Amino acid sequence: MKNKHAEGLQCSCCSPLWKTLLPNTNKMNIMTDKNNESGKYSFHKDLIFRTGVNEDNAGNKQIGYIQTIEGGKDVMVEAIAISKGKIVATGTYKNVVAQMLPGTSEKIIDGGKILLPGFIEPHLHIISSAVFKKATDVSPFSRQDLRSNIAETEEGKYSRKWVVEELKKKVTNDKNVWIIGRNADPSLFEGSDKEFNAVILDRISTAQPVFILNSSMHLAYINTVAIELMKDQFPETFVNPNGILKEVAGIKPVLKLIEKNININPVVAIAKLKEEVKEIFKEASKTGVTYVHDCGVEPYEYNPNGGEPDFDQPKFLEYLANQENCPVRIGGALVALSLDKFNTTIEGKYKPNKGNNKFNLAYIKLIGDGSNQGLTGYQYTPYVCNENYQPYDISCCHNQNNTGVFNFGYPIEFNALVSKAKSNNWPVMIHANGDHAIDRTINAFKLAGINKSTINTRRDRIEHASLLTDKNLEDMQELGLSPSFLIGHVGYWGWVFQQTIFGKEKANLLDRCHSALQDGMRITFHSDNSVTPLGPLRMMEQAIGRVMEGAPRSLDPQVLNETECVTRFQALKAMTYDAAWQCHADQWVGSLEVGKCADFVILSESPLTYFNKEGVNSVAGMRNIPVLETWKDGRKVMDLQDDNLF
């Protein structure tokens, strides 16, 4: 299927839907604070971190570890020193002490703890995730796990019934209050009931309007009350009587109605948005992340004639990054929805990699197709299930024609966009999930004249790169492209991909991490938050073990294509050193080397030596290693013992 990207919902990061709910900043300054937000925040101070030995009650001695990943290698040192927010010395304790003033304070890393470079999240969406955080989360996740895997009862498993019951808790006596749910994912529902419609949502309330947004933002669902409100407020707009809304044309009017109902002052809206973003940053710090790369930043477009709410996203993110107590550094990619948009909103207005270690716009982002779990990733052959995730049988096989969507129609404009970005010296990252979309993406890079001779200056990326053939890997290596894998596709969705959406043979092509490394590529793992939870240790665990967490718990751990497992150090490097490289941030972060920023994390246990003695999956539970402290700029921004630090 061909689709015009600007009118579609195939990628939540650039959907017009969430931007409908942004405050209009055309007539106000988003930087409304008179002073920098400071909060409870430690000050720069010279410090030496050193490994040490402690003796527990049993008389056993446990050392600590400092892993620098210097030069991308497995490098352990006895000590590091920080001053004015930078790493100033690493090596033996004796040599490090000799480079510091007498009496410099020391912090001991012992008891099996490890100090590592701060983790890097190379692909998430800050503003869109923040906008919908106020809605009720009906996603399939509880922290780092699938809800169904930690549920103590059948009722607690992720299902259509569970979603209905969660939203029932939001029912009030005020008939004007909307009940709103976000991130519903029918592909991961337990059982066979995977479809929402007005009849089902009426079980939540027959008095209040209900709106549930699918995690892909491709679909939404409303109840009968909402349908009647839409008929009254938008009489010329067709509303599907079953309450299933599709694409912008179907969903946007409902969001307009919700926005009208909320009617928040822009100043108040900005304050609320800041609080939601702050919560995202706080969660990042709790997982050890010190650098985030927003892969859906819309360039500012002044619209004097009204229309869509006008919100300067780059300016807002830069403002946040420069707050004194911001616990993360922010990189970003400007989304180019069309060639015309590139010409009018990006060219001559923004330049690549002209930022600093606090905020930097590094890429142009294109979105080739949709999501495979949402059945909109662009494929050569049809999906093997229907829109309700049921297999086709002989009686309805004539309906098996869904090959997903390509967001630019014929690839002429798509190819031209890549070439135009290259001619403006912009590195390019392209979202591509389906096998057909990946072929078109590789071809676009090839037609633009991109090759591996500029790999270290451009660092062009394929985002998600979900289904890679051997030929794809060979071509990517020749062109100097690197993949960033949404590794949750293996861990969270692997079972449904194998059993329902693709079949075993095609599912084996998912996230070919080991093969990419063997072909000399530098790989990373990302959360695509809010598609999956932030969690570097969880992503490492899923890349090392490739266990399909959605498989029945009655089975032994089911591994998806074991040949694509990576080593522990390869996984750690993907979340630090190579992630910094992919984000054009390696001059600042990614390893603990002299001159780089003093960004690091202290864990209670090393993921390099972690071993689960129960069962056959030795890395099971790595995601639960406690993150004790997170430091940025040589200042502690997260302490497990002090939740109010940031």
Handedness of CA 122, 126, 128, 129 (dihedral sign): positive
Residue range 265-291: average pLDDT? 93
**Amino acid letter, residue 580:** A
Residues 285 and 404 in one domain: yes
E strands in 56-149: 61-63, 65-67, 76-77, 79-83, 86-91, 105-109, 114-117, 119-124, 136-137, 141-142, 145-146
**Does residue 434 fall inside a structural domain?**
yes
Domain interval for residue 624:
269-636
Report pLDDT for 62: 78
Which helix (DSSP H) or strand (DSSP E) does residue 364 occupy? strand 359-367
Residues 452 and 369 in one domain: yes
Residues 257 and 276 in one domain: no
Residues 294 and 239 in one domain: no
Q: Distance between CA 173 and CA 82 in Å, rounded?
A: 57
Beta-bridged to residue 77, according to DSSP, are 66
Report pLDDT for 247: 57
| Nearest to 158, CA basis, from 181, 184, 134 | 184
Domain of residue 209, CATH code: 3.10.310.70
Residue range 490-514: average pLDDT? 98
Last residue of a domain, one of 234, 263, 292: 263
Residues 476 and 602 in one domain: yes
pLDDT at residue 196 greater than cutoff 90: no
Query: What are the pLDDT digits (tens) for 510-535?
Result: 999 999 999 999 999 999 998 999 99
Report pLDDT for 254: 92
pLDDT at residue 42 greater than cutoff 90: no
**Does residue 526 fall inside a structural domain?**
yes
pLDDT band at 558 (very low <50, low <70, confident <90, very high): very high
CB atoms within 10 A of CB 307: 8
Residue range 427-445: average pLDDT? 98
| Nearest to 329, CA basis, from 599, 644, 645 | 599
Q: For the chain, give the percent of residues with pLDDT over 90.
A: 74
What are the phi and psi torsion angles at 518 (to 5°)? -65, -30
Residues 317 and 453 in one domain: yes
Domain of residue 466, CATH code: 3.20.20.140
Last residue of a domain, one of 59, 92, 112: 112
Residue range 425-449: average pLDDT? 98
pLDDT at residue 474 greater than cutoff 50: yes
Mean pLDDT of the chain: 91
**Does residue 10 fall inside a structural domain?**
no
Secondary-structure breakdown of the chain: helix, strand, coil percentages, each rounded to the nearest 5: 30, 20, 45
Domain count along the chain? 3
Q: Distance between CA 259 and CA 253 in Å, rounded?
A: 10
pLDDT band at 27 (very low <50, low <70, confident <90, very high): very low
Residues 245 and 349 in one domain: no
Least confident of 147-156, 211-220, 271-280: 211-220
Residues 302 and 193 in one domain: no
Query: What are the pLDDT digits (tens) for 371-420?
Result: 999 898 999 999 999 988 999 887 777 788 999 989 998 899 999 999 99
Query: What are the pLDDT digits (tens) for 576-594?
Result: 999 999 999 999 999 999 9
Least confident of 248-262, 324-338, 434-448, 517-531: 248-262
Residues 328 and 386 in one domain: yes
**Amino acid letter, residue 197:** N
pLDDT at residue 334 greater than cutoff 60: yes
Query: What are the pLDDT digits (tens) for 59-114?
Result: 556 799 999 999 999 999 999 999 999 999 999 999 999 999 999 999 999 999 99
| Nearest to 618, CA basis, from 543, 545, 562, 542 | 545
Report pLDDT for 11: 54
Q: For the chain, give the percent of residues with pLDDT over 70.
A: 89
**Does residue 119 fall inside a structural domain?**
no
Helix (H, G, I), strand (E, B) or coil at 601: strand
Please identify which residue in the block is written with the tokens 């084996």: 508
**Does residue 1 fall inside a structural domain?**
no
Residues 102 and 150 in one domain: no
Q: Distance between CA 556 and CA 273 in Å, rounded?
A: 44
**Does residue 570 fall inside a structural domain?**
yes
Residues 256 and 276 in one domain: no
Q: Distance between CA 468 and CA 381 in Å, rounded?
A: 15
pLDDT at residue 566 greater than cutoff 70: yes
Query: What are the pLDDT digits (tens) for 105-146?
Result: 999 999 999 999 999 999 999 998 998 888 999 999 999 999
Residues 431 and 380 in one domain: yes
Residue range 608-623: average pLDDT? 93
Q: Distance between CA 623 and CA 450 in Å, rounded?
A: 37
**Does residue 131 fall inside a structural domain?**
no
**Does residue 159 fall inside a structural domain?**
yes
- The contacts of residue 206 (CB under 8 Å, 6+ apart) are 223, 224, 225
Report pLDDT for 15: 55
